[in-house]
Chain A
């Protein structure tokens, strides 16, 4: 048994209690009493901030932390009140006056503190009592409890959705309940809905929304000409069946899950297999995988049967975060925080990670919930999951080992050959070292001081085995050799290199998640979020306020490879009575059709978020979503076939005056397209877009000045007219430290944080990029070539064709005249004109 020396002293003192009591000087007793009083005073006046909260990193609860001081250094100088910051601040002799926002301490209290500092400013005598008070399980457990009140359960987002009948507008009976909800709200505010938009605008809107690509002129014409009553729903169905639909909607999802193809941070190591997760998401959307299944696979794909490659790839969701935070327990906490934060924002729309260090200050989210949810993920670890049969993996390993076996003796032979020359070189280097290092080198090992021992070790390592500094290189060594040995050396080097080349390629793998068995490792409540302040051991749990009955986490079967905690959590998420999951997802689907969500903070349904503009509609949609088997495509159909979706985006001055932000959805907002859609649309219009689906990423050209000068990093992009890179933007490698300029400039998120709603800024660098970037210019020329091919050489026909390709409409008479004049202006007029079209507001906005 290990005995704490301090405890041992206490025991001894207790044994001598009688004696101690009598010999303890009266003075010491007084000092102890003062310390006790000072501590009481701290409790009432200071610890609110300088206790558990450690404001300014100052903790006055223990002697050690008191002496350590805070961010500005020591707060007490024992025996010297005049130099003790603590005293100067409470005496209001220095800034800021303490205690803040409270009355100044009384003169008696100040005198007490002054005297106590004179005594030596010690809390040691009261510390044990304090420590025990803090460490008692009851006290700790009490700190961790934060009960949910019945009122808090009444917050709209935590109550199960309720289906109310859709209101029917007075003047008409609408077919789609969405219109009923929206129009009733509009009527109440005196707003009138925008009229139906024209068919050309509508089809472009539908294409951009569902595919992220523009319709061809022929598709526009066909739709305009289709007078059948079901022309519109037919179009929606056709687009939903397109494989490009999944590409478009995967991008929205990738924003939420902070997807990138590299680890970010110092070395930003690539994740060459990362795209498999991206393809998984595309396929899931295309197959209309039930959202519930989509959730299960990403959170716990490895804990369900039958185990599929897809489900394993899906667990990569938990590994998409950036590297960083360092190693060890602290680093692990950081990456778990990334997982807890992203998971709860994405699927639940609540800011659980605000409760990492304290109970959530506005939402009813106890800190304990944070650590219960952390316990769900605590046992995960990353694995490279082979996507080939086990015997292929074994064969690959065996072959690699066989070759290593052959290399080993060659390496040894090379070392033996070099040994004597290496020694010569080492001796030469040592002769020029400073005296004190040479002295260390010459001192016999047993006589060396600790410093000399370290220095000798350093000299040996630096001169003999330092690959970084390479003070002595192979070349130096070879230079000393006679020709015969040089020949031998060369042969050895060649043989080793040849064998290295023969090593088999690694098998394809998925970045996936595994655990180390069915028994969970213990994880703890961390007071203040600190690994140095562990509370009680946590069992897995969910968001207390959003569940009336705590779910029972499933017991993993005896042969389980994991704890099944994530499976339990996933099942809670997809349970029909979960008040958040369906609401959050239908709101996101709505957001990407109507420009903004019904809740305009789509990942924050808490008190700090925005309230739903149409709560009954949100509930109604959430219930529909679950009843329609969590089918996302069914929701697209439902939303798009509403009249509200088909409204014009034109201004209505009276409506703008009442509701300038369109919170009532009285029109379809006009919106700048996302970065990726702008690029995809350019390629599609130029006729150069390679529509191949899926697979590894492409590297379109980036000006080397933008990354070589900034980070010595590699971006294997060939010159910009390499058609192999003219794939959809979804397939452009997303390297966290080298952003594709067009994406970065047009507000693609930073690939580090979960983002629920993109910034939409308008800045001059965007204009410069579309005006001058070589990739844009190349596509403008390609566009011109296409126009010439399809419309012949007459400027009038060219302008008309170009307008229809780029904007889905014909030019009016003025536009036609201006454009013809421009095209005729010079030999490159058409390409220049096509370039103008790429820069138009109408081109980069969805109406």
Chain B
């Protein structure tokens, strides 16, 4: 029996959920949206409010065990960051320049056209008490190495963007699974019912391939999907009433809707679904004010704007998004994901050629804002309650492509985490002498996801969602904690 049990917990093919939980979960999937305050009380009756409140899919849920981090800011460098040019120094590449890698077996490149080894265009220096080496591409982030847990031995399943993005974002290389943000909001709900629990920003040059399924809810209810926020004006599509409808008009409009709905609901007082839907209009109304306010950085001090690099080039765009992320987290949003880089090739980190120009630009755009975020969170006492995650979908090869670029590399690359529950100044694992393959203490994406859930106070082996007869898990049958980085 222990065998079945063990395995059941692992692959979800066996464990039988508590019937009570299934029912509760079903309820949650039908209702939701989050209904809390009485700000709209002049229009809305109190009937059913309590019931609807309790059944909101995004209502805050307790952590499985105490953890410091309450929110996540995930920075996704779409296209793939070159580890040997940023966080994983390989001085020997100079010695071996133009040669092939020895003893690593067949090297497969995605785009063909492999060359010899290519040294980095940038130099590395030791930083902080930990003495962690970081290249001159990240001078600001480098000042925070003692706050960061750097994993130099990450590897993933696919060297192609599509599957690798899906794996980093959903755990599976195939489409159709809920994203990490969906799992976290499913597990913990959200602290602010006037905003979505999971918010996504994309790059001004476009977003990642695969599109919205990268932050999709997969088979989970719509409440857990990432909501794309625009970074100016009206953050959410369809948030604001048509221009010709004045606030007074809208109030009258909502009043009539409410009265007619209440009359209908009063004939079926036991139906909490109807009550929940009435309440969802109240939330929508409040969101019209709270969402623009949340991303309105005009109230931030000049010093804060400067800290992030707002108003300067090339940081302005990304800096605004990162600052908005802090404001959202401050307001109780559970998970914010920012994609740096969009479209294909040059507009993203996908440096198949002109690595110098590409990474030169993308690092310059993001370095200061990320460092600003760390500093800002610390000064506000939010660093310990926020988990920052930085990575791409894979790394890049130490050999050249198209003379001065690098092709995809899923065998070894760097990711880092900082903030709540993370042991700063840590360096985990190592790649081989070329920076090609994770050889020391290798870590995979399942481990990263297990650790993220753990840092958020969720048990990655117990948080499941029933679909098509299986209790699904973010880490599927895999996963293990990266204990080295836990504070």
B-contacting residues of A (Cβ < 8 Å)? 48-49, 53, 55-57, 71-73, 95, 100-101, 264-268, 322, 324-326, 334, 341, 345, 351, 354, 357-358, 360-362, 433, 436-437, 439-440, 449-452, 454-455, 457-459, 461-462, 466, 468-469, 471, 601, 603-604, 606, 608-609, 649-651, 653, 656, 661, 670, 672, 703, 705-713, 736-739, 741, 744-747, 749-750, 752-756, 759-769, 771-774, 777, 814-815, 818-819, 822, 825-826, 828, 832-833, 835-836, 839-842, 844-845
Contact = CB atoms under 8 A, between A and B. Distances in A.
B400 A458 contact: yes
Contacts of A73: 440-442
B125 interface: no
B222 interface: yes
B259 A818 contact: yes
Contact of B202 (A55, A710, A833): A710
Interface of B: 2-4, 6-8, 10-11, 13-14, 16, 23, 29-34, 57, 97-100, 111, 113-117, 158, 160-163, 173-176, 196, 202, 204, 206-213, 216-223, 225, 227-228, 230, 236-242, 244-245, 249, 252-253, 256-257, 259-261, 263-265, 267-271, 273-274, 276-278, 280-281, 283-284, 287-288, 342-345, 352-353, 399-403, 440-444, 446-447, 467-470, 478, 480, 483
Contacts of A458: 113-115, 400-403
A268 B211 contact: yes
Contact of A754 (B207, B244, B269, B468): B468
A361 B222 contact: no
A815 B266 CA distance: 14
11 contacts: A351-B470, A454-B100, A709-B202, A709-B342, A762-B33, A763-B57, A765-B238, A772-B240, A822-B256, A836-B256, A839-B281
B31 A761 contact: yes
B284 A771 contact: yes
Contact of B210 (A95, A265, A608, A814): A265
B3 A361 contact: no
Given A458-B114, A712-B206, A841-B265, A468 B162 contact: no
A454 B222 contact: no
Contact of B468 (A71, A603, A649, A761): A603
A326 B163 contact: yes
A650 B267 contact: yes
Given A266-B209, A326-B160, 13 more contacts: A72-B441, A324-B173, A451-B116, A458-B113, A469-B352, A670-B268, A710-B212, A754-B468, A766-B222, A818-B259, A828-B244, A840-B257, A841-B265
Contacts of A710: 202, 206-208, 211-212, 228
B345 A768 contact: no
A818 B99 contact: no
Contacts of A759: 29-30, 220-222
A164 B253 CA distance: 56
Contacts of A753: 176, 218-219, 467-468
A433 B402 CA distance: 12
B31 A267 contact: no
- Pick the most buried of A361, A653, A703: most chain B CB atoms within 10 A of its CB: A361
A821 B129 CA distance: 73
Nearest to B164: A266
Given A354-B470, A360-B13, A814-B263, A651 B269 contact: yes
B338 to A, nearest CB: 13
B206 A767 contact: no
A446 to B, nearest CB: 17
Given A455-B98, A710-B211, A768-B239, A836 B222 contact: no
A711 B267 CA distance: 46
Contact of A832 (B32, B114, B249): B249
Nearest to B401: A458
Closest 6 CB pairs of A and B: A266-B162, A451-B116, A752-B176, A711-B211, A737-B211, A710-B207
Contacts of A712: 206-207, 209, 342-344
Contacts of A469: 352-353, 402
A840 B196 CA distance: 23
Contacts of B252: 822, 825
B19 to A, nearest CB: 10
Given A268-B211, A461-B113, A832-B253, A766 B280 contact: yes
Contact of B4 (A100, A361, A845): A361
A765 B224 CA distance: 12
A835 B256 CA distance: 11
B208 A711 contact: yes
A468 B238 contact: no
A609 B261 contact: no
Contacts of A449: 98-100
Nearest to B429: A73
Given A358-B13, A458-B402, A670-B268, A763 B470 contact: no
A71 B163 contact: no
Contacts of B162: 265-267, 324
Contact of A747 (B209, B211, B222, B288): B222
B469 A818 contact: no
A251 B3 CA distance: 42
A835 B228 CA distance: 26
A48 B7 CA distance: 10
Contacts of A835: 253
A840 B237 contact: no
A151 B478 CA distance: 34
A462 B468 contact: no
A324 B174 contact: yes
Contacts of A267: 162, 209
A266 B160 contact: yes
Given A266-B210, A608-B16, A71 B280 contact: no
A436 B23 CA distance: 67
A71 B478 contact: yes
A437 B99 CA distance: 11
Residue of A354, A736, A761, A840 with most partner-chain B CB within 10 A: A761
Contact of B271 (A324, A670, A746, A760): A670
A159 to B, nearest CB: 20
Contacts of A661: 23
A206 B256 CA distance: 29
Given A322-B176, A772-B242, A832-B249, A601 B211 contact: no
A435 to B, nearest CB: 9
B242 A777 contact: yes
Contact of A736 (B175, B468, B469): B175
A713 B399 CA distance: 31
A89 to B, nearest CB: 13
A341 B252 CA distance: 51
A452 B257 contact: no
B36 to A, nearest CB: 12
A454 B114 contact: yes
B116 A452 contact: yes
Nearest to A767: B284
B267 A836 contact: no
Nearest to A54: B477
A450 B99 CA distance: 7
B13 A840 contact: no
Nearest to A738: B211
Contacts of A345: 468
B57 to A, nearest CB: 7
Nearest to B483: A95
B261 A656 contact: no
A360 B12 CA distance: 11
B276 to A, nearest CB: 5
Given A361-B7, A451-B117, A609-B469, A325 B212 contact: no
Contacts of B221: 747, 759, 761, 763
Contacts of B207: 709-712
A325 B116 CA distance: 30
A752 B237 contact: no
Given A762-B31, A768-B236, A752 B175 contact: yes
Contacts of A749: 219
